[in-house]
Amino acid sequence: MSIATRTGDSGTTGLLHGQRVPKDHPQIEAVGAFDELNVEVGAARMLVSDAGGRELLLAVQGSLVALMGEVACAEEDAAGHAQSRFARVGDGDLRRLDDWVAALESKGIRLEGWATPGANPTALAFDRARVAARRAERRLATLPAQGRNVRPLLLQWINRLSDLLWLLAREAESRI
């Protein structure tokens, strides 16, 4: 089977369970923003030297894939998706992020003012991922007004991820 299905040549694309929508549909915009974030997290992961940090970022990428799957369903397919074999972001995923935020804050890394990205490649990679996370969060937050319910946990998770990425960037800056 070829990647070139040609089904999108008319400017539409498929949601997870087959419904076709325009390529600029709010759900597709949200999924695309999370896809971009996944790439940025992967780029940051390549630059992390400690195994625990790489493992965390790989888990984040797994959560992003699960989140994209959930967002890529039409509202009428959401209940069925929730009962399917597909992974979903859960409370444990949020706790993992909270634990890492607390660990970084316990090192004295705090949110203080605006950052000036670019101190080193690792810090820049985390800042790029952070701004991608904020964009994805904004796209996700628009969906309820468009008729697609969003579990509150997803909004909490992406908000916490952007906080974590900010702290990781500041930590990377401190290693100059």
What pLDDT, in 10s, does the model give residues 4-33?
A: 666 566 676 666 666 777 678 899 899 999
84: alpha, beta or left, given left = phi > 0 and alpha = psi -120 to 50? Answer: beta
Specify the pTM.
Answer: 0.88
Q: Letter for the amino acid at 57?
A: L
Does the residue 9 lie in any domain? Answer: no
State both tokens at 161: 């991820």
pLDDT of residue 7: 59
Does the residue 123 lie in any domain? Answer: yes
Q: What is the CATH number of the domain that holds 67?
A: 1.20.1200.10
Does the residue 37 lie in any domain? Answer: yes
Does the residue 29 lie in any domain? Answer: yes
Does the residue 40 lie in any domain? Answer: yes
CA–CA gap between residue 99 and residue 106 (Å, rounded): 10
43 versus 82: which is more confidently predicted?
Answer: 43
Does the residue 12 lie in any domain? Answer: no
Q: Are 148 and 46 in contact (CB under 8 A)?
A: no
Closest CA to 154 of 94, 77, 97: 94
Does the residue 2 lie in any domain? Answer: no
Does the residue 7 lie in any domain? Answer: no
Question: Domain limits at 122?
Answer: 18-173
- How many domains are contained in the chain? 1
